[in-house]
Amino acid sequence: MLLEFVIVGTCVLGMCVFLAIVFVYMERKVAAFMQIRIGPNRVGPKGVLQAVADVLKLLLKEGITPQASDKFLFNFAPFIVMVVAMLALAPIPFALGLQMYDINIGVFYISAVSSISVIGILMAGWASNSKYSLLGAMRSGAQIVSYELSAGLSVIVIVALAGSMSLGDIVESQRTGWWIFKGHIPAIIAFVIFIIAGTAELNRAPFDMAEAESELTAGFHTEYTGMRFAMFFMAEYVNMFTVCAVGATLFLGGWMPFHVGHFESFNHIMDFIPSVVWFFGKTFFLIFVIMWFRWTFPRLRIDQLLTLEWKYLMPVSLANMILVALIVIMKWHF
């Protein structure tokens, strides 16, 4: 049993490092595509080794601890953020039969675990003993706590339609069609809200008030260097993968191929594509959408950010939840 835990933990850690390297390269190339330029093209063919060079640079950088900081909390905060990001991956089914922890309350588990990361962010901001770090951490706390509500309510829509909080059961319920298609208008509304709220929870543009470079230098991780900064950096990309993987699982069928009702011949052809390809294809599509947001919309002010949540997304989410409850009770969904 212990050997299994060690092997799984090592694989997850390796996957997180690999994903961070891939996403850094992908982010730069997507940005270049949006801005009609080339992007990294010097280190390695087509610049593919640029992210590897960045990782090596961070490994060799000296880790500096500010003299006036709370040294224990300052060093502990990156570990909390990174561990939480890895824990949230546990119940996600990556392919047919490929799941680390099959739990019957998988949706609730991810919601509970992911909310812990804000503690690490607040800890990092306070322990740094820097006004910029503290301001960034407080902004991030207000932002994450606010947008968690809309994200949670949008997830409840799919839980109500599927009748289960198990991610495996939710994927299985989409065998005859993904919920984004057969869940009617409430599923589409929930999907849009989930992507917006998920982007805000990740502290990514246009919701990057916690790391507003023009105001707060680097926000809550201003004082971090070397590998401790790399852990915050890696956790952000792992969290982005988790949000998109959950979105793909709940709304786009997860590893389930694209099936149309009982159209057996078409469904049989779709089954030839491996389930792992379906899962990562959908996940990377949502990651591209979130990166697209970053290079399309300007950064919001803090009052605009909170107004969007409390005056628009939250009321729409509540009304949408009531609507889906009516649809489920009346059995109007497919």
pLDDT per residue over 26-35, tens digit each? 999 999 999 9
**Residue numbers of the domain that contains 29:** 1-60
Q: What is the pLDDT of residue 139?
A: 84
pLDDT band at residue 284, thresholds of 50, 70 and 90? very high
pLDDT band at residue 214, thresholds of 50, 70 and 90? low
Q: Is 179 exposed, middle or buried (0-12, 13-18, 19+ CB in 10 A)?
A: buried
Q: Please indicate, yes or no, whether residues 82 and 164 belong to a single structural domain of this protein.
A: yes
Q: What is the pTM of this model?
A: 0.93
Backbone angles phi, psi at 228, to 5 degrees: -70, -40
Inside any domain, residue 66: no
Q: Please indicate, yes or no, whether residues 53 and 104 belong to a single structural domain of this protein.
A: no
Which of 28, 60, 92 is the endpoint of a domain?
Answer: 60
Q: Please indicate, yes or no, whether residues 129 and 195 belong to a single structural domain of this protein.
A: yes
Q: Is the pLDDT of residue 196 over 80?
A: yes
Q: Please indicate, yes or no, whether residues 19 and 94 belong to a single structural domain of this protein.
A: no
Inside any domain, residue 165: yes
Domain count, the chain: 2
Q: Please indicate, yes or no, whether residues 214 and 79 belong to a single structural domain of this protein.
A: yes
Inside any domain, residue 153: yes
pLDDT band at residue 147, thresholds of 50, 70 and 90? very high
pLDDT band at residue 194, thresholds of 50, 70 and 90? very high
Q: Give per-residue burial for 103-141: e unless 16+ CB within 10 Å, then b.
A: beebbbbbbebbbebbebbbbbbbbbebebbbbbbbbbb
Q: Is the pLDDT of residue 118 over 70?
A: yes
CA–CA separation, 254 vs 283, rounded Å? 8
Q: Residue with structure tokens 């500010």?
A: 66
Question: What is the arithmetic mean of pLDDT over 103-119?
Answer: 90
The SS3 assignment for 98 reads: strand
Inside any domain, residue 65: no
DSSP state of 95: B
Q: What is the pLDDT of residue 130?
A: 85
Q: Please indicate, yes or no, whether residues 222 and 154 belong to a single structural domain of this protein.
A: yes
Inside any domain, residue 81: yes
Q: Please indicate, yes or no, whether residues 54 and 78 belong to a single structural domain of this protein.
A: no
Out of 55-59, 98-102, 196-200, 207-211, the most confident range is: 196-200
Name the token pair of 262: 């009982």
Q: Please indicate, yes or no, whether residues 97 and 240 belong to a single structural domain of this protein.
A: yes
Question: What is the arithmetic mean of pLDDT over 182-209?
Answer: 89
Looking at every residue in the chain, the average pLDDT score rounds to 88
Number of H helices, E strands in the chain: 15, 0
CA–CA separation, 256 vs 249, rounded Å? 9
Residues 6+ apart with CB under 8 A from 192: none
Choose among 203, 202, 187: nearest CA to 154: 187
Question: What is the arithmetic mean of pLDDT over 288-304?
Answer: 88
Q: What is the pLDDT of residue 213?
A: 61
Name the token pair of 265: 């011949």
Q: What is the pLDDT of residue 217?
A: 65
Q: Is the pLDDT of residue 75 over 70?
A: yes
Question: What is the arithmetic mean of pLDDT over 226-242?
Answer: 90
Q: Is the pLDDT of residue 225 over 90?
A: no
Question: What is the arithmetic mean of pLDDT over 220-225?
Answer: 84
Q: Please indicate, yes or no, whether residues 77 and 55 belong to a single structural domain of this protein.
A: no
Question: What is the arithmetic mean of pLDDT over 235-257?
Answer: 93
Q: Please indicate, yes or no, whether residues 51 and 175 belong to a single structural domain of this protein.
A: no
CA-to-CA separations, 47 to 15, 282, 313, in angstroms, rounded: 21, 25, 40
Residues 6+ apart with CB under 8 A from 7: none
Q: Is the pLDDT of residue 280 over 90?
A: yes
Q: Please indicate, yes or no, whether residues 159 and 271 belong to a single structural domain of this protein.
A: yes
* Cβ atoms of residues 224 and 125 within 8 Å: no
Instruction: Spell out the long-range contacts of 227-231 with Cβ–Cβ below 8 A and sequence spacing 24 or more.
Output: 227/58, 227/59, 227/61, 227/63, 228/63, 228/75, 228/78, 229/58, 229/61, 229/78, 230/55, 230/58, 230/59, 231/78, 231/79, 231/81, 231/82
Q: Is the pLDDT of residue 159 over 90?
A: yes
Which of 18, 33, 60 is the endpoint of a domain?
Answer: 60
Inside any domain, residue 191: yes
Q: Please indicate, yes or no, whether residues 24 and 107 belong to a single structural domain of this protein.
A: no
Q: What is the pLDDT of residue 240?
A: 94
Inside any domain, residue 67: no
Q: What is the pLDDT of residue 158?
A: 94
Which of 37, 60, 83 is the endpoint of a domain?
Answer: 60
